[in-house]
Amino acid sequence: MKKYFIAASLFVATTAFAQKKKIPDNWQTLNPSTDKVYGTGSEEAYKTLKDKKHKTIIVAVIDSGTEIDHEDLKDVIWTNPGEIPDNGIDDDHNGYIDDIHGWSFLGGKNGDINYEATELARMYQRMNKKFATADTSKFSAADSKEFAEFKKIKTTFLSEQAKQEQQLQGIEMFSKFLDNVKKQSNGVLTKETLKNYVPVNEMEGKIQKRLKMFFTLGLKPEDLDSQIKQGYESINNLVKYNKMNVDSIRQYVVGDDPNNLTERYYGCNRVEGPDALHGTHVSGIIAAMRDNNLGIIGIANDVKIMPVRAVPNGDERDKDVANAIRYAVDNGATVINMSFGKYYSPDKKLVDEAVKYAQSKDVLLIHAAGNESKDNDIELSFPNRELLSGEIANNWIQVGASSYKKGKTILGDFSNYGKNKVDLFAPGVDIYSTVCDSKYIAESGTSMASPSTAGVAAIIREYYPELKANEVREVLMKTVVPYKKKVKVPGTKKSKKKLKELCISGGFVNTNNAVLELNKKK
């Protein structure tokens, strides 16, 4: 799942900015009926569950990496009971040496993968190598079919690359503008210095106007430089790596053959990796310590987080996703959070097999719907529950992002949706959670909505262990908080629809409703 940078949002409308009104602390845990906040209702559920026994469960976080010594996470990180730390031996014989707190499929003896190309770029590079100098007159029917597909891939890739380069130029213009403002004001950037700056041309005037608007929405001037730098680094590396032979880089760093889909036992035990912001944020939403008086409180109260690193800055590889799912399942996870996705999946069959394996082992998969304001009914994101065999995996929940305050803009404007593909919506706008160096920030995305749902699912699996994965999904779907008024369709200016037209359940995930429903059956 692409990171949702504020810098990138300077060019599109979004609800991801801080709002003028103070957002309630830990709003994702609050309840619509009692708190008037559209959270998950987990705090209310704990009152109902007060005297009920429960068991500890493992939630795997397949992501960019997790800071396992974060002040608010260190006591909830999974430890492999069968492994002796740092002895260089696979003590539990699971195929992974010294996997004390999880595993990384993106690291090896020569370092760790941070940036990757998009899947589209990798497909283009491989096919271009085959067809760039090929004699089309000698093609077989199969070759001709593949060549026709290559031409489509090439056209799409070049178009996407041009858009990214244009976006990069836009960020550079913003950066240069801010430098000019600071030069005119002795290095100071405030709302006042921005307001008093005299643009030197029409483009600077447009940039100044746009920035004033974002400051009005709550963006702080002092955050601009870091946000723009972050956005530039992300897009610049994407453009650069899309032009490179990333397979050879991967083979050197990790040590596996990226095109050998049968390999499972590769990688390293460095679960944090070079950029663990995203995975750390996700982990905190699910299970940050609830009784240490630090930072935030996680949704689930008795969970061990298993970090599995498989998501770089760029598109994850199908091989890594499949192996990450299998690792999590084989090592005891009963809920797996997957806050990532892409729009091409050349080795989908491999991932499908892993999804079916998880289903056979009664493991629930929670997946983020995506951050491109797209209709998943029209354009599928991957991985997904629609298997190539025609089977629909019943252990899968697809999640869109919502905000805390009722109204027509309650859905994240970036969120994907789908009447037949997205199951429900969950807190995903302005979620304050853990990040690296024992810090905390607010982030927005379906990447945050997915762990909000995973936290709810974890509570149900803790307190109602007799329920199967598909039954947990069923009760969460049945007990959503419905929303009858029309809401703004993400990514549109004026289009409004009922929530039932934007997701299967027509509502927002709610722990307390689910608990009350399950208690009725006792």
| 229 and 284, same domain (yes or no) | no
| 27 and 173, same domain (yes or no) | no
Residue 496, both tokens: 């409004």
Residue 2 lies in a domain: no
Residue 515 lies in a domain: yes
Average pLDDT over residues 78-96: 97
Identify the domain boundary among 241, 273, 291. Answer: 241
Q: Report pLDDT for 119.
A: 97
| 196 and 285, same domain (yes or no) | no
Average pLDDT over residues 203-216: 81
Q: Which tops the pLDDT comparison, 234 or 471?
A: 471
- Cα separation, 453 vs 508, whole angstroms: 10
| 129 and 111, same domain (yes or no) | no
pLDDT band at 15; cut points 50, 70, 90: very low
Considering its fold, how many domains does the chain have in total? 2
pLDDT band at 95; cut points 50, 70, 90: very high
Q: In what order do the strands lie in the sheet with 424-427?
A: 103-104, 303-309, 57-63, 333-338, 364-368, 396-402, 424-427, 507-508, 481-482
Is pLDDT of 522 > 80?
no
Identify the domain boundary among 241, 262, 289. Answer: 241
Q: Report pLDDT for 186.
A: 87
Residue 26 lies in a domain: yes
Q: Which of 57, 56, 106, 60 is nearest to 367 (CA)?
A: 60
Q: What is the pTM of this model?
A: 0.93
| 111 and 124, same domain (yes or no) | no
Q: What is the pLDDT of residues 371-429, one digit of tens each?
A: 999 999 999 899 999 999 999 999 999 999 999 999 999 999 999 999 999 999 999 99
Conformational region of residue 187, where left means phi above 0, alpha means psi within -120 to 50, and beta covers everything else: left
Residue 404 lies in a domain: yes
Is pLDDT of 166 > 70?
yes
| 427 and 332, same domain (yes or no) | yes
**For residue 388, how many other CB atoms are within 10 A of its CB?**
11
Which stretches does DSSP call E strand in 29-136? 57-63, 103-104, 107-108, 111-112
Q: What is the pLDDT of residues 99-146, one digit of tens each?
A: 999 999 999 999 999 999 999 999 999 999 999 899 999 999 999 999
- Phi, psi for 473 (deg, rounded to 5): -60, -45
Q: Report pLDDT for 29.
A: 98
Residue range(s) defining the domain that contains residue 438: 8-117+244-520
Largest Cα span, the chain: 75
Q: What is the pLDDT of residues 27-60, one digit of tens each?
A: 999 999 999 999 999 999 999 999 999 999 999 9
Q: Report pLDDT for 5.
A: 40
Residue 1 lies in a domain: no
CATH of the domain at 398: 3.40.50.200
Lowest mean pLDDT among 187-191, 217-221, 223-227, 346-350: 217-221
Average pLDDT over residues 356-361: 98
Beta bridge partners of 508: 425, 481
pLDDT band at 222; cut points 50, 70, 90: low
Lowest mean pLDDT among 54-63, 178-187, 473-482: 178-187
| 340 and 197, same domain (yes or no) | no
Mean pLDDT, all residues of the chain: 93
pLDDT band at 10; cut points 50, 70, 90: very low
| 125 and 212, same domain (yes or no) | yes
Q: Three-class SS of residue 469?
A: helix
Residue 293 lies in a domain: yes
Average pLDDT over residues 188-193: 84
Query: CA angle, corner 211, sides to 205 and 215, nearest 5?
Result: 145
pLDDT band at 11; cut points 50, 70, 90: very low
Residue 66 lies in a domain: yes
Average pLDDT over residues 156-180: 92
CA-based radius of gyration for the chain? 23
Is pLDDT of 307 > 60?
yes
- Cα separation, 333 vs 117, whole angstroms: 29
| 196 and 274, same domain (yes or no) | no
Is pLDDT of 13 > 50?
no
Residue 3 lies in a domain: no
Q: Report pLDDT for 2.
A: 45
pLDDT band at 219; cut points 50, 70, 90: low
**For residue 522, how many other CB atoms are within 10 A of its CB?**
5
Q: What is the pLDDT of residues 478-507, one digit of tens each?
A: 999 999 899 999 999 989 999 999 999 999
| 282 and 327, same domain (yes or no) | yes
- Cα separation, 491 vs 414, whole angstroms: 6
| 213 and 70, same domain (yes or no) | no
The percentage of the chain sitting over the pLDDT mark of 70, rounded to a whole number, equals 94
pLDDT band at 8; cut points 50, 70, 90: very low
| 451 and 302, same domain (yes or no) | yes
Identify the domain boundary among 241, 272, 297. Answer: 241
